[in-house]
Structure 1
Amino acid sequence: MTSMLNTLWQGALRPLFKRPPALQVAALCHREGDAGTEVLLVSSSSGRWILPKGWPIDGLTAVEAAKQEAWEEGGVKKASPDETAMQSFIGQKRFDNGTVIPCEVKVYPFKVKKLSKTYPEAERRDRMWASPSRAAELVDEPGLQQVLSDFAV
């Protein structure tokens, strides 16, 4: 009886209880620096380096929501977006209470034209410019490491 229940659980019931990953959007902000292409990283609430990212926003397209996150978290005042996500990866959203959920993160590239010194989360976040290969070394998430490594090519 137990093996029949296990078979039923694995084959038919378990997929019904498994949720797809939540969706987040991220901004891969880049510019041409003295040594070549640089990407913008911002610190998370736990101090990790990440791309500006967040949840979709009602009334905005995914790329518009990513641009809003770039402004709020990184102070990107003017940028030219690519309307198509360059890549997506499966990452994890870590909440302040310790909860972790899987997320599909769609990454939109933005060519940065202007940064602001003052922006909504300036007091809570650090930001830095790094080459894509250096940025890939600094981030924790394997999927984001791959996106940054691919951007470096």
Structure 2
Amino acid sequence: MFFGKTARTGRQKQEYSEDGARYVAGCVPVDKHGKRILLVSSSKNEGEWVLPKGGWENDESEEEAAARETWEEAGAVGKITAHLGEYDHKLNKRTGVPDSIFIFFELEVQRLEDKWPEMKKRERRWFSFEEARAIASKKVMRKAIEQCSLAYE
């Protein structure tokens, strides 16, 4: 799979559910040998660590979107090895409709590139499974981390 040198921007190609929830695809990037997970610094909230993720666009599969976002945000390239689930995010209490639906996959990292699209916006850092689960800033991300293969070792 080829990824561009720049990150995709805009929401004109975004996928949405019938209820209007935005689909977000992402990865839990793992190093199985080192038993660690790669997180990136949040671009919106300083000091927060997140899984690489972003909008699923209509010209790609969920897996392609997740792998692309992991490349753009973390410079990580690898092989998707598992579907980790779908998670509603920010449920509207009045309608019961989520703002977003996060779809996560496990990506076995094969290499980290020295240059990647968001390298000037984000820091990337390896964490142990326990550290990643504790530090991930969103509940949906912690749930995905708890489903990855490192949780069962």
Q: TM-score, normalized by length of structure 1?
A: 0.73
Unaligned runs of at least 5 residues, structure 1: 1-18, 93-100
Alignment of 1:3-152 (within 5 A): 19-34=19-34, 37-45=35-43, 46-47=45-46, 48-76=48-76, 78-82=77-81, 85-92=83-90, 102-151=99-148, 152=151
Q: Aligned-pair distance for 1:149?
A: 2.5
4+ runs deviating over 3 angstroms: none
**Maintained 8 Å contact 2:40/2:125:** yes
What secondary structure does 1:134 align onto?
helix
**Maintained 8 Å contact 2:25/2:66:** yes
Q: Aligned-pair distance for 1:33?
A: 4.4
**Amino acid paired to 1:38:** R
**Structure 2: how far apart are the matches of 1:86 and 1:146?**
9
Unaligned runs of at least 5 residues, structure 2: 1-18, 91-97
What secondary structure does 2:114 align onto?
coil
Q: CA RMSD in A?
A: 2.0
**Amino acid paired to 2:62:** A
What secondary structure does 1:85 align onto?
strand
Structure 1 residues 91 and 43, CA, compared in 2 at 3 Å: closer, same or farther?
farther
**Structure 2: how far apart are the matches of 1:145 and 1:65?**
20
**Structure 1: how far apart are the matches of 2:137 and 2:118?**
21
Q: TM-score, normalized by length of structure 2?
A: 0.73
**Maintained 8 Å contact 2:28/2:107:** yes
Structure 1 residues 102 and 132, CA, compared in 2 at 3 Å: closer, same or farther?
farther
Q: Aligned-pair distance for 1:39?
A: 0.9
Greater CA radius of gyration, 1 or 2? 1
% identical equivalent positions: 24
Aligned residues: 124
Larger % of helix: which? 1
**Maintained 8 Å contact 2:23/2:102:** yes
**Amino acid paired to 2:116:** Y
